[in-house]
């Protein structure tokens, strides 16, 4: 099987046109930064063999991990299962970030809860 790669910018454009981005990082790896796109799903590689059948056959699938190694393994599994429209994000999330594409970060999330947003003059309870 020949693995097909896609640049971060081309992956971004493809996702805007309906391609599905599949983040195959493990949960511990996704606690700080995520792809900020509508067409993103998270399938940890440790569960990939079980969950790959839930991915659509008729959509372009772009697999992403931290640097591209794990997404290559996931691409091989999909190819063996008969998926034809599979791409690996070349250099993974690092390339996405380097290209300045949309990301969500834990530090950048805005909390709207009462605990974080009460006035200094308000009582605790």
Q: What are phi and psi of 112, to 5 degrees?
A: -110, 15
Enumerate the domain spans of the chain. Answer: 5-117
What is residue 122's three-state secondary structure? coil
Whole-number Å distance between alpha carbons of 15 and 37: 8
Mean of the per-residue pLDDT values of the chain: 81
Q: Report the C-alpha dihedral over residues 26, 28, 34, 40, rounded to 10 degrees.
A: 30
pLDDT for the residue numbered 118: 37
What is the average per-residue pLDDT within 57-83? 93
Whole-number Å distance between alpha carbons of 69 and 84: 19
More confident residue, 2 or 1: 2
pLDDT in tens, 95-124: 988 898 888 766 654 333 333 333 433 343
pLDDT for the residue numbered 31: 59
pLDDT for the residue numbered 116: 35
Q: Which residues contact 55 (CB under 8 A, 6 or more apart)?
A: 20, 22, 43, 61, 78, 83
- Residue 6: is its pLDDT beyond 90? yes
Q: Are 7 and 95 in contact (CB under 8 A)?
A: yes
Query: What is the reported pTM?
Result: 0.79
Q: Are 93 and 64 in contact (CB under 8 A)?
A: yes
Nearest CA-CA partner of 45 in 67, 61, 23, 28: 23
If one looks up domain 5-117 in CATH, what number appears?
Answer: 3.40.250.10
The greatest distance separating any two alpha carbons of the chain, rounded to the nearest whole angstrom, comes to: 64
């Amino acid at each position: 099987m020949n693995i097909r790669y896609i640049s971060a910018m081309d992956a971004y454009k493809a996702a805007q046109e309906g391609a599905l981005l599949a983040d195959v990082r493990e949960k511990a790896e996704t606690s700080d930064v995520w792809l900020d796109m509508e067409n993103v799903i998270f399938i940890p590689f440790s569960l990939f063999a079980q969950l790959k059948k839930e991915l659509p056959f008729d959509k372009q699938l772009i697999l992403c991990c931290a640097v591209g190694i794990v997404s290559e393994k996931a691409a091989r599994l999909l190819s063996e299962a008969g998926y034809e429209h599979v791409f690996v994000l070349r250099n993974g999330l690092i390339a996405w970030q380097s290209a300045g594409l949309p990301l969500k970060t834990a530090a950048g999330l805005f909390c709207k809860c009462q605990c974080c947003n009460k006035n200094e003059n308000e009582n605790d309870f």
